[in-house]
Amino acid sequence: GAVVSQHPSRVICKSGTSVKIECRSLDFQATTMFWYRQFPKKSLMLMATSNEGSKATYEQGVEKDKFLINHASLTLSTLTVTSAHPEDSSFYICSARVTLNTEAFFGQGTRLTVV
């Protein structure tokens, strides 16, 4: 299947700083990527839909100024957690599809720890 690469896999940052997570589709172009957040032993919660060349669509309750999404090219979407706080610590996962109604391929996830 298609490969989605996410970087970094782990990051530790201090409170108040910002962290950028990259999601790349390695062997296909993705006009749409999705960002999820997962708490320990919980399911994946959709945060936002990232659209190439346009603004992201955020799910209800997700702060767009807190979680900045940029989808600058057909193979790269980034999620920036701004002014991070310990409660932002979580596992963040991206996914991408070749076309909208086909299977979604997931990145390996990023474990963010804010200290």
Partner 1 sequence: GENVEQHPSTLSVQEGDSAVIKCTYSDSASNYFPWYKQELGKGPQLIIDIRSNVGEKKDQRIAVTLNKTAKHFSLHITETQPEDSAVYFCAASGNTGGFKTIFGAGTRLFVKA
Q: Can you give the binding site for partner 1, defined by CB under 8 A? A: 1, 4, 6, 32, 34, 41-44, 46, 49, 57, 93, 95, 97, 100-101, 103-109, 111
The nearer residue to partner 1, 9 or 17, going by C-beta atoms, is 9
Nearer to partner 1, 45 or 82 (CB): 45
1 or 86: CB nearest partner 1: 1
Q: Which is nearer to partner 1, 75 or 110 (CB)?
A: 110
Do residues 85 and 15 make contact, with C-beta atoms less than 8 angstroms apart? yes
| Least CB distance to partner 1 at residue 94 (A) | 8
Residues 6+ apart with CB under 8 A from 35: 23, 46, 47, 48, 50, 67, 69, 77, 79, 92, 93, 94
Q: Tell the smallest beta-carbon distance from residue 101 to partner 1 (Å).
A: 6
Residue 23 CB neighbour total at 10 angstroms: 28
Max Cα-Cα span within the chain: 39
